[in-house]
């Protein structure tokens, strides 16, 4: 692998994963790969190949390759974050998300698929568009106008335009507290969590955006409403597909959107399960620390998700770019990457059996239920 050297004084840092991040760029095209396999062979079950790879091969590769616990030296971080290459990768990914959705919708409308084939294609496409939220997540924390615009376009793919507002100003403020709809509670299944998180996030985003606009003496239905900006692009994209391909495309898009939303819910579920920030005497919560997020250093799945799994550093330092996120020795650690953890979460008894003992064994929990998030405040 070609290596990039960031020359710094007094040491030289070599970013050995520089070109490996291209996996995050091209991974969202897996609906296109599935379509190619079906067009080539005529075998419908091959449309599910990306799902088998994601939930079969990726956890195995995470296990085989293990974890990368290395960190860039802090003296190298300014140069690393200033390297435009890493930002361009996220920019390139956005149109690929759009291409994947357009190709899948076209194929669903034009190919003679059975109901099973149709369901396989919509499922694969929904998974890919769920990753579009992750792409938007990386850019949505940055202040540059290009990142902000492209993050809204990425969110238009799964019609989830409220995410950046909700995530940046809602979730990051209330993470790992009973008040946060995007932090899972101990003993809460992913399905019960989804019923709380999806509508709760939507309500919170609109409340935050309404308050932001009111401070500027603007009505909520205004072109500067960032949620409406993304929704407008979604209407153009998805409405254009319906007009171009016919009304039979509408059910495909609706199911696709729901599946994409559930992918985000799956990530939210595993990232903070049961973790709790303590409530101080004045009613405020302690500052968010790395140990308030579950972390994963598994190599392969991190390379597919722009380092999303190094979530502990992200919440402690949300403006830090993906290429410079750090490993910490003393944070809660997941036994697998996200794809393996999603499989566990979808079977709640297996999830509880795996994660509840890990949660209670954490040093800052020490088996005390009042130190975990069960939907109740915890005071000093």
- Judge whether residue 1 has pLDDT over 70: no
List the single range of 13-17, 180-184, 299-303 with lowest mean pLDDT: 13-17
Residue 377: its pLDDT value, please?
Answer: 56
The pLDDT tens digits of the residues spanning 323-362 come to 999 999 899 999 999 999 999 999 999 999 999 999 999 9
- Judge whether residue 237 has pLDDT over 60: yes
- Judge whether residue 57 has pLDDT over 80: yes
Close Cβ partners of 63 (under 8 Å, ≥ 6 residues apart): 336
Residue 15: its pLDDT value, please?
Answer: 86
The pLDDT tens digits of the residues spanning 2-16 come to 344 444 443 578 889
- Read off the pLDDT of each residue in 174-187 and give the average, rounded to a whole number: 96
User: What is the pLDDT of the chain when averaged over all its residues?
Assistant: 93
pTM: 0.92
Residue 10: its pLDDT value, please?
Answer: 37
For residue 139 the two structure tokens come to 């850019």
List the single range of 41-45, 77-81, 302-306, 372-376 with lowest mean pLDDT: 372-376
Residue 338: its pLDDT value, please?
Answer: 97
Residue 379: its pLDDT value, please?
Answer: 46
- Judge whether residue 89 has pLDDT over 90: yes
Residue 6: its pLDDT value, please?
Answer: 43
- Judge whether residue 378 has pLDDT over 90: no
Percent of the chain with pLDDT over 90: 90
The pLDDT tens digits of the residues spanning 254-287 come to 999 999 999 999 999 999 999 999 988 888 899 9
């Amino acid at each position: 692998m070609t290596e990039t050297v960031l020359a710094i004084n007094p040491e030289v840092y070599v970013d050995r994963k520089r070109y490996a991040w291209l996996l995050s760029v091209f991974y969202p095209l897996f609906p296109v790969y599935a379509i190619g396999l079906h067009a080539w062979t005529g075998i419908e079950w091959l449309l599910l190949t990306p799902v088998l790879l994601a939930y079969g091969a990726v956890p195995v590769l995470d296990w085989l390759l293990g974890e990368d616990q290395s960190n860039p030296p802090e003296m190298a971080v300014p140069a690393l974050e200033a390297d435009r290459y890493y930002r361009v990768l996220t920019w390139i990914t956005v149109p690929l998300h759009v291409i994947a959705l357009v190709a899948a919708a076209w194929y669903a409308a034009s190919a003679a698929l059975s109901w099973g084939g149709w369901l396989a294609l919509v499922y694969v496409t929904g998974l890919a568009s769920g990753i579009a939220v992750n792409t938007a997540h990386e850019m949505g924390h940055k202040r540059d106008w290009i990142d902000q615009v492209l993050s809204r376009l990425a969110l238009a793919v799964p019609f989830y335009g409220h995410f950046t507002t909700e995530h940046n100003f809602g979730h990051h403020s209330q993470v790992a507290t009973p008040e946060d709809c995007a932090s899972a509670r101990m003993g809460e299944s992913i399905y019960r969590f989804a019923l709380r998180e999806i509508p709760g996030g939507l309500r919170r985003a609109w409340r935050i955006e309404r308050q932001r606009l009111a401070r500027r003496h603007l009505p909520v239905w205004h072109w500067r409403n960032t949620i409406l900006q993304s929704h407008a692009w979604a209407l153009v994209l998805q409405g254009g597909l319906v007009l171009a391909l016919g009304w039979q495309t509408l059910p495909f898009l609706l199911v696709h959107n729901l599946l994409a939303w559930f992918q985000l819910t799956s990530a939210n579920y595993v990232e903070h399960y049961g973790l709790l920030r303590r409530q101080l005497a004045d009613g405020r919560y302690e500052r968010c620390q790395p140990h308030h997020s579950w972390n994963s250093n598994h190599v392969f799945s991190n390379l597919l998700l722009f380092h999303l799994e190094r979530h502990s550093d992200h919440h402690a330092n949300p403006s830090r770019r993906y290429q410079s996120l750090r490993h910490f020795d003393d944070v809660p650690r997941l036994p697998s990457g996200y794809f393996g953890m999603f499989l566990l979460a979808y079977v709640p008894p297996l999830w509880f059996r795996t994660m509840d003992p890990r949660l209670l064994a954490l040093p800052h929990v020490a088996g005390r239920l009042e130190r975990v998030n069960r939907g109740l405040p915890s005071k000093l």
